[in-house]
Amino acid sequence: MGGERQPQRVEDLYGHDLTRAQIRAAHLLEAQTGYRSGSRYWALPGESRPEYDLERTTLTERRRAKAAELKALDRREAKQLGLEWISQRTLERMAAQYTEHGLTGLADGRWTPPLRGRRTVTDQVTEAIRAVHAECEHRSRVSMKTKERLIHQYVREKFGPAAEEKIPHYTTLAKIWKEWFGSQGARQRYVRSAAAVETGKAKVVVTRPGQVVALDTTPLPVKVLDDVFGAPVTVHLTLALDSYSHSLVAFRLTPVSESSVELAMLLRDVLLPLPMRADWGEEMEWSYPGVPGALVAEFAGHPVAGLRFFAPETVTADHGSVYKNHHVVAVARRLGIDLLPARAMRPTDKAACERAFAGIQSLLLELLLGYRGVDVADRGADPEGDAVWTLSQMEHLLATWIVSVWQNRRLEQCAAAWDPGGRHSPNTLFAAAAARDGISLEMPEPELYYELLPAHFVKIDARRGVKIGGL
């Protein structure tokens, strides 16, 4: 690598080491600002303490007070934090490191993995390693020993025998290969598909609501009762999630596996505002800054709930047969939507939708009677007998929970790129985008419902009557 090293990152800290760095930052911020969070808007109970009051103390006095406080800690506790030797000068150095490097600047060098890059690797060896890696992507899977031989062959043929003497040992080459290209534990066909995406077109950067909507289906882990016979059945939950704001813009519950008609109606639901229901209060109505709810209700023809609607530009889904159906493709063409299939065996292409299923399960479904878990070995004694929710009641419960809870919950690890430290929910992200780009209140005509239904060609038999779909 010619002496180049990859800098340390916060992602290099794990578990206890990350917690220690965060505690260090809390002590430093209290000395700097008077609050462990760094802001009076997120003050903890009892803050700010008298010795750290900004109006009565100077920065030097607060640092002296913090040094005395940390010296008074139990020796073992201080050692765990790496603060057994603390002084005012130490706090000054920590403040400078925190300003320049953030949380990583407060981490002990022993907490992070070794620096990337090796000075023993010359530019010629680097070129050989990358050339062999590019060739191995198109070949069948080979061992690291074979890759080592190819590296020696490349250097010997291109730079001569003298350059071959500078190639590191096999164990060093194996470590370099893992540092640069990962463990290489995937199958070759998936390695090639991933490389084709990474080296081909530029990655999609989602900057507005509706730019990318992820679709996925999973069996609902709660047994529900059929509305007709009252028998416990398993239903499938299909979600449509906006990748920008993480809003659940539409969902469907189907007693059997999803069909093309259900997906067509799901895409139609994304375009339409959700009507208010009889038992919903005013707090669940439409509320956006600059767009009165009465105006939206006038366009829609009914009171509108606080669930976002828009015309999606791109829809991404997995390779299920229903998502490749000719009817779904025709519906997407009719609505002006681009279908973008996710890569095979790549759940990260729609990771937000996968994470939404897990969030709904932990926040809601595990609390319901009839929950059957995700594995047969973890199933209760009689989840079918515990089922009390009918299909219509479950649909109403999910709609109520999405509008009132999901759309207003804080996104801990999905903050916007323009405000990584801010507190945002799906509703606030959509409202910010609406204030920036505006809102399109164009709604489809009611006739769209019939246009999206599948067309069946009718054959008239003189003896047997009308024949539709072979029946």
Q: Each residue of 309-329: pLDDT tens digit?
A: 888 999 988 888 888 888 989
Helix, strand, coil tally for the chain in percent (to 5): 50, 10, 40
Number of separate domains in the chain: 3
Q: What is the DSSP letter of 51?
A: G
Judge whether residue 87 has pLDDT over 60.
yes
CA distances from 249 to 21, 42, 425, 439 (A): 38, 31, 14, 15
Is there a single domain that holds both residue 289 and residue 340? Answer: yes
pLDDT exceeds 70 at position 118 = no
424 and 321, same structural domain?
yes
Is position 3 within any domain?
A: no
What's the whole-number mean pLDDT along residues 285-305? 84
Q: 131 and 74 in one domain?
A: no
Closest to 290 measured CA to CA, from 406, 430, 422: 430
Same domain, 269 and 327: yes
**Sign (positive or negative) of CA dihedral 103, 104, 108, 110:** positive
Inside any domain, residue 258: yes
pTM given for the model: 0.62
Q: Is the pLDDT score of 420 beyond 70?
A: no
- The answer to whether residue 85 sits within a structural domain is yes
Question: Is residue 337, in this structure, part of any structural domain at all?
Answer: yes
pLDDT band at 3 (very low <50, low <70, confident <90, very high): very low
Give the CB-side neighbour count of residue 323, counting CA atoms within 13 A: 17
Mean pLDDT computed over every residue of the chain: 84
Same domain, 264 and 381: yes
Give percent of the chain with pLDDT exceeding 90. Answer: 23
- Residues 316 and 278: their CA atoms lie apart, in Å, by 34
The 3-state DSSP class for residue 189 equals helix
**411 band by pLDDT with thresholds 50, 70 and 90:** confident
Q: How is residue 215 annotated by DSSP?
A: E
Q: Quick one: 150 and 102 in the same domain? A: no
* Same domain assignment for residues 419 and 321: yes
Q: Are residues 168 and 317 in the same domain?
A: no
The answer to whether residues 242 and 209 touch, using CB atoms and an 8 Å cutoff, is: yes
The answer to whether residue 264 scores a pLDDT higher than 50 is yes
Q: Are residues 357 and 262 in the same domain?
A: yes
Residues 188 and 222 in one domain: no
Residue 275 shares a structural domain with residue 409: yes
**Region 38-61: what's the mean pLDDT?**
88
| Domain assignment present for 410 | yes
Distances (CA, A) of 409 to 246, 391, 454: 11, 26, 38
Q: Measured between alpha carbons, how far is 377 from 366 in angstroms, rounded to an integer?
A: 16
pLDDT digits (tens, 9 = 90+) for 254-263: 987 778 889 9
Using the 3D structure, point to which of 173, 199, 225 is the last residue of a domain: 199
Helices (H) and strands (E) in the chain, counts: 17, 9
Q: Record the tokens describing residue 24, joined without a space.
A: 């260090």
Torsion angle of C-alpha atoms 382, 383, 389, 390, degrees rounded to 10: -90
234 and 192 together in one domain = no
187 versus 302: the higher-pLDDT residue is 302
Q: Quickly state the pLDDT bin for 23 (edges 50, 70, 90).
A: confident
Rg (the chain; Cα; Å): 29
> 425 lies in which domain range?
213-451
